[in-house]
């Protein structure tokens, strides 16, 4: 009886991946040349699109929409915990040169697109590396080139704690990246899909169960996230269903973001009893209107999913 129990436990650990090697090759021996074009494209993606400078900086949760605090760009330290829907406690690491100067470009690229840290630790996909793996190699090179130029900020971040069984399963998540390609802007839906993927919208807008997105609910919202400043918020349905963005015009969608592209929008103190939002509105607000429009076009092309969501249930909208 006991032997069977031991066998069952051993088998489940094996199937959870405890003994499995991580399916990602050694970091490639690449040197990313810093060209002005790459630095410009990298700045745009890191600071306004792909969330890097949002997650890897400290956000001010006392301000509505939690813009990032000056002087923390790339220094890490934001926490993701169970209240926020994360199966454990994970801190965003420091990605300024103060932390990454000893990493080769190949190692940085492997972390961003395959989810393996310099020392071989499998990263938890709070960072949407499966998304970044579908970006073009040139865009990833631009991101790496740009983060090499961030101001070095020394900041040590506590180690992560993942709950069982994710602490084992995490080993099965990293995978060898196959880069995609950047579609022409004239191919509106494909280009919009690329930008939506690069911006990680699905990350918060698809509900998760046991650390995995619920299939068939892509972009349908209803992912509940607890806020460090109190209360909880549900992500919105952004599919073209009437419980989603069916009634939104393209211009209205673009304006919802662009109206926040100014210093005043980044300085609205959170009122007493007001619940904050994790959606980095002010970060995305500086995305080019053309790219926001392309995201809208793509979102209008995906299956409409019925899922009525009350964003702030405690406030009874």
Residues that bind ligand HEC (CB under 6 A): 46, 50-52, 55-56, 80, 90, 92-93, 95, 108, 111-112, 117, 123-124, 126-127, 132, 143, 147, 160, 199-201, 203-205, 225, 233, 235-236, 238, 245, 277-279, 284, 295, 311
Beta carbon nearer to ligand HEC, 112 or 169: 112
Least Å distance between CB 12 and ligand HEC? 22
Beta carbon nearer to ligand HEC, 153 or 225: 225
Least Å distance between CB 216 and ligand HEC? 19
Q: How far apart are CA 47 and CA 234, in angstroms?
A: 25
Beta carbon nearer to ligand HEC, 10 or 28: 28
Check: CB of residue 316 under 8 Å from CB of residue 231. Answer: no
Q: How far apart are CA 30 and CA 108, in angstroms?
A: 10
Least Å distance between CB 159 and ligand HEC? 8
Beta carbon nearer to ligand HEC, 15 or 234: 234
Check: CB of residue 58 under 8 Å from CB of residue 228. Answer: no
Beta carbon nearer to ligand HEC, 125 or 186: 125
Which residues, other chains included, contact 13 with Cβ-Cβ below 8 Å and sequence gap of 6+?
19, 168
Check: CB of residue 289 under 8 Å from CB of residue 254. Answer: yes
Least Å distance between CB 72 and ligand HEC? 14
Q: How far apart are CA 130 and CA 176, in angstroms?
A: 10
User: Largest Cα–Cα distance in the chain?
Assistant: 68
Check: CB of residue 92 under 8 Å from CB of residue 80. Answer: yes
91 φ/ψ angles, rounded to the nearest 5 degrees: -105, 140
Which residues, other chains included, contact 109 with Cβ-Cβ below 8 Å and sequence gap of 6+?
27, 28, 30, 32, 140, 141, 144
Beta carbon nearer to ligand HEC, 7 or 212: 212
Check: CB of residue 303 under 8 Å from CB of residue 239. Answer: yes
Beta carbon nearer to ligand HEC, 90 or 217: 90
């Amino acid at each position: 009886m006991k032997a069977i129990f031991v066998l069952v436990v051993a088998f489940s650990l094996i199937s959870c991946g405890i003994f499995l090697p991580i399916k990602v090759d050694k970091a490639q021996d690449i040197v990313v040349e810093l060209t002005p074009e790459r630095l410009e494209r990298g700045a745009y993606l890191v600071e306004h699109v792909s969330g890097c400078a949002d997650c890897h900086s400290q956000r001010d949760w006392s301000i509505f929409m939690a813009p990032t605090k000056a002087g923390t760009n790339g220094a890490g330290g934001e926490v993701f915990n169970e209240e926020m829907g994360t199966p454990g406690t994970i801190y965003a690491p420091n990605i300024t040169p103060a932390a990454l100067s000893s990493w080769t470009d190949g190692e940085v690229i492997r972390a961003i697109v395959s989810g393996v840290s310099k020392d071989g630790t499998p990263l938890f996909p709070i960072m949407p590396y499966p998304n970044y793996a579908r970006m073009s190699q040139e865009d990833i090179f631009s991101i790496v080139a740009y983060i090499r130029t961030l101001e070095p900020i020394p900041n040590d971040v506590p180690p992560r704690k993942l709950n069982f069984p994710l602490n084992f399963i995490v080993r099965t998540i990293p995978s060898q990246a196959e880069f995609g390609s950047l579609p022409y802007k004239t191919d509106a839906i494909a280009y919009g899909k690329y930008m939506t993927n690069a911006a990680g919208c699905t990350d918060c807008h698809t509900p998760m169960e046991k650390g995995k997105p619920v299939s068939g609910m892509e972009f349908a919202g209803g992912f509940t996230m607890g806020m460090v400043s109190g209360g909880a918020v549900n992500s919105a349905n952004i599919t073209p269903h009437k419980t989603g963005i069916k009634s939104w015009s393209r211009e209205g969608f673009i304006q919802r973001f662009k109206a926040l592209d100014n210093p005043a929008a980044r300085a609205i103190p959170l009122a007493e009893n007001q619940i904050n939002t994790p959606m980095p509105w002010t970060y995305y607000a500086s995305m080019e209107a053309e790219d926001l429009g392309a995201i809208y076009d793509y979102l209008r092309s995906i299956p409409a999913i019925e899922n009525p969501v009350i964003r702030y249930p405690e406030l009874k909208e």
